[in-house]
Amino acid sequence: MSRPVLLPAAARVPKPWKNGGGVTTEIAVSPDGAGLDDFDWRLSAAEVASDGPFSTFPGIDRIIGILSGDGLILTVEGIGTVRLDRGSDPFAFPGDAPTVGRLAGGPVTDLNLMVRRGHAARLERIDLASGTQLTSGPGLLLWQTGGGTVTVEDRVERLGPMDALLLPDRVTFRADPDTPGILWLATVA
């Protein structure tokens, strides 16, 4: 089994969206070093400050969740309109479908899992009040708020806000928050 890899938030660099309409921060990509046209999967956080079209990604499926802000109203061609907020379940849609986002209030930050079509993927938000044992992977664990430790076998990693842990294999781990917080699990197969 491969060991989990810590991906600290402080090491990330924000970049312009593919369509130039906003800013995204890549959390992880596979294969390592892949660009926007050749990744198998990619997890990123995007800052959405105004209404507008989403970038299109032919052959890609997307799953989006809201990290912060009042929410986002998405209109996806062929699917319809959905309102997302911090309490919503993540929403899956084709990355090549024309999509427009409207802010429900002020700016939002979303979490966006993109996978090459044909890969199975899941994005899950977990409210963590106390120590919890979870199973996930391969994929990524993102510690959104607060901080705490993640124990995988005999290894303990301390994570702070927006730090991530790459899970190369399916593993059972224990997450122990310092205070109640939010974890996200992105699973890709």
32 lies in some domain? yes
Residue 181 lies in a domain: yes
Pick the last residue of a domain from 93, 116, 139: 116
Residues 83-115 have pLDDT tens digits of 999 999 999 999 999 999 999 999 999 999 999
pLDDT at 19: 73
The count of structural domains within the chain is 2
Range(s) of the domain holding residue 155: 121-188
- pLDDT at position 20 is 73
The answer on 163 and 73 residing in a single domain is no
Using a 10 angstrom Cβ sphere, with 0-12 exposed, 13-18 middle and 19 or more buried, the burial of residue 160 is middle
CATH of the domain at 39: 2.60.120.10
Q: Could you give the CA distance from residue 165 to residue 162 in angstroms, rounded to a whole number?
A: 10
Cα angle for residues 164, 48, 120 (degrees, 5° grid): 50
Q: Of 59, 92, 116, which marks where a domain is finished? A: 116
Q: Identify the domain boundary among 63, 89, 116.
A: 116
Please indicate, yes or no, if residue 2 is contained in any of the structural domains. Answer: no
The pLDDT of residue 1: 55
Q: Which residue has the higher pLDDT, 167 or 36?
A: 167
> Is residue 23 located within the same domain as residue 59?
yes
Task: Read off the pTM.
Answer: 0.93
In this structure, the chain runs to a length of 189
